[in-house]
Amino acid sequence: MSTKPQLPERPSRAAGGPTALDGLLVIDFTRVVAGPACTQTLADFGARVIKIENPDGGDDTRAYEHAEIGGESAAYLSLNRNKSGIALDLAVPEAREIALDLIRKADVVVENFSSGVMKKFGLDYEAVAPLNARLVYCSISAYGRTGPFASRPGFDPITQAESGFMSLNGFADGPAVRTGPPIVDMATGMSACNAILLALLARDRLGRGQHVEVALFDVAMGMTGFYGMAYLINGENPGRFGNSPSGSPTVGVYEASDGPLYMACANDRLYRRLAVEVLNRPDLITDPKFATRKARSENKELLRAAIAEVFASDTLENWMTKMKLANIPVGYLRTVEEGFNAPEARERARLSRIPHRTARWVPNIEPPITMSLTATVDPMAAPLLGEHTERVMRETLGYDDKRIAALAEKGAFGLGKTPRTD
């Protein structure tokens, strides 16, 4: 039976403390994963992010099936913390005027629509740059906004497959395997966030904004890392090594008598300590078949079998104790349930709960960045569809009751819909 961790209420940040992105206004046209992951980081550190959604269903992740609470999906909640949410039907001219009014005031625009959508609405960089010379405009796509592949739709697993990244994952005797979590989407969101921050730094120096682009395919190719670089040097197509990079017999999963562990014993110094201090097998050093790194690589199956036999003779906790005393990198091979209930997660305060309008509270996974002076903002759960439309119209754009009512009548906020009131 599953045991969810007890989620504490999140402690508030220091009163009056600054945030890294105080005063930054971000207009967020993104949905699904990469774009929302980018803008959530900006929001976590103090930017005011206004998320614009289609009133007919909103962000696709709202309907994802992993789990839901208070009518909101786990996927949507995990990617849209600390944002204000408004609903605009961009097919309506009056809604596009609202979007332009927001862009005029913005520091940053982020979009990840299919190619040509922002241009169709008159909201592409070339159309809006004359309205706001200091605007940083970030486009996220599968294959870039220019060139012969710009119009191709693409998603995380497609770019994992096409870039070569997927070919590195899995076991040598099995098919290529995509990562479970959408790692290319998440890395693209991080790269987009970096690109925006770089452009903001450049704006301070140059006095003007610019258009920045990040593509999933480019990120996936970059994530082949030293395997990709090795191919460019030696021309050898890298394969799959399962849990042991480069087939190293001293890196990977081993089974104790009562459970698995993951060991990363990746150099000669660590290997000697493993053989003598942990396994009590000095012959694994003196035997010519295992005496050097090259010899161990040539006889890796023999060595792996010898190590596996020793590990199988004792319990997981005894091996963990011995390996930690020898200062050898080792970890438990945990499920999500075990990881989220682990002492590391608890001691590092990675999990909490935060208020939510329909669910009372929702779980929260803390951002993985800690800053001593400019801490994250007190988290606010992802907005309901159109939750802050009226507040944004009034407070950000200065629209009065009459104008908001007229826009609602025109269908700017969705056919037959009026803005939510907080």
* Other CB atoms within 10 A of residue 147 CB: 10
What's the chain's length in residues? 422
Sign of the C-alpha dihedral computed for residues 339, 340, 342 and 348 taken in this order: positive
Percentages helix, strand, coil for the chain (3-state, rounded to 5) are 40, 15, 45
Residue type, 133: A
Tens of pLDDT, residues 370-401: 999 999 999 999 999 999 999 999 999 999 99
Strands (E), 193-333: 211-215, 251-256, 259-264, 330-332
Helix extents (H) in 248-290: 268-273, 283-286
pLDDT at res. 419: 78
Torsions phi, psi for 211 (to 5 deg):
-95, 125
Residue 184 has pLDDT above 70, yes or no: yes
pLDDT at res. 66: 86
What's CA 117's distance to the chain center, in Å? 24
The mean pLDDT value of the chain amounts to 95
Q: Which of the four pLDDT bands, split at 50, 70 and 90, describes residue 422?
A: low
Question: Do 31 and 61 contact (CB within 8 A), yes or no?
Answer: yes
- Catalytic site residue 185? yes
With a pLDDT cut of 70, the percent of the chain lying above it is 99
Question: Do 247 and 241 contact (CB within 8 A), yes or no?
Answer: yes
213 sits in which H/E element: strand 211-215
Q: Which of the four pLDDT bands, split at 50, 70 and 90, describes residue 164?
A: very high
Tens of pLDDT, residues 323-349: 999 999 999 999 999 999 999 999 999
Nearest by Cα to 44 from 17, 73, 22, 59: 22
Tell me, yes or no, if the pTM score tops 0.85. yes
DSSP β-ladder status, 360-365 and 351-356 = antiparallel
pLDDT at res. 416: 81
List the catalytic residue out of 107, 185, 268, 401.
185
Question: Do 224 and 149 contact (CB within 8 A), yes or no?
Answer: no
Q: Which of the four pLDDT bands, split at 50, 70 and 90, describes residue 221?
A: very high
* Both tokens assigned to 89: 């039907």
**Rounded-to-integer distance, Cα 37 and Cα 370, Å:** 17
Helix extents (H) in 22-116: 34-44, 74-79, 93-105
Residue 9 has pLDDT above 80, yes or no: yes
What's CA 67's distance to the chain center, in Å? 18
pLDDT at res. 186: 98
**How much is the average pLDDT of 236-261?**
90
**Rounded-to-integer distance, Cα 13 and Cα 300, Å:** 52
Tens of pLDDT, residues 127-152: 999 999 999 999 999 999 988 999 99
**Rounded-to-integer distance, Cα 59 and Cα 374, Å:** 30
**How much is the average pLDDT of 175-197?**
97
**Rounded-to-integer distance, Cα 295 and Cα 45, Å:** 51
Question: Do 64 and 354 contact (CB within 8 A), yes or no?
Answer: no
pLDDT at res. 266: 82
pLDDT at res. 420: 72
Question: Do 288 and 295 contact (CB within 8 A), yes or no?
Answer: yes
Question: Do 160 and 180 contact (CB within 8 A), yes or no?
Answer: no
Q: Maximum Cα–Cα distance for the chain, whole Å?
A: 87
pLDDT at res. 245: 78
Residue 173 burial (C-beta neighbours within 10 Å; 0-12, 13-18, 19+): exposed
Top pLDDT among 285 and 417 is at 285
Q: Which of the four pLDDT bands, split at 50, 70 and 90, describes residue 153?
A: confident
**Rounded-to-integer distance, Cα 251 and Cα 254, Å:** 9
Structure-token match 């970030």, residue found: 138
Residue type, 85: G
pLDDT at res. 12: 92
How far CA 394 is from CA of 110, 138, 351, in Å, comes to: 22, 26, 35
* Both tokens assigned to 268: 């000669």
**How much is the average pLDDT of 62-66?**
92
With a pLDDT cut of 90, the percent of the chain lying above it is 90
Question: What residues contact residue 140 under an 8 Å CB cut-off, 6+ apart?
Answer: 30, 34, 35, 38, 110, 111, 112, 188, 189, 192, 213, 214, 215, 216
pLDDT at res. 256: 98
pLDDT at res. 230: 94
Residue 1 has pLDDT above 90, yes or no: no
Question: Do 145 and 155 contact (CB within 8 A), yes or no?
Answer: no
Nearest by Cα to 356 from 86, 74, 87, 88: 74
pLDDT at res. 308: 97
Nearest by Cα to 121 from 97, 101, 141: 97
Q: Which of the four pLDDT bands, split at 50, 70 and 90, describes residue 228?
A: very high
pLDDT at res. 2: 65
Nearest by Cα to 193 from 100, 108, 99, 103: 108
Q: Which of the four pLDDT bands, split at 50, 70 and 90, describes residue 85?
A: very high
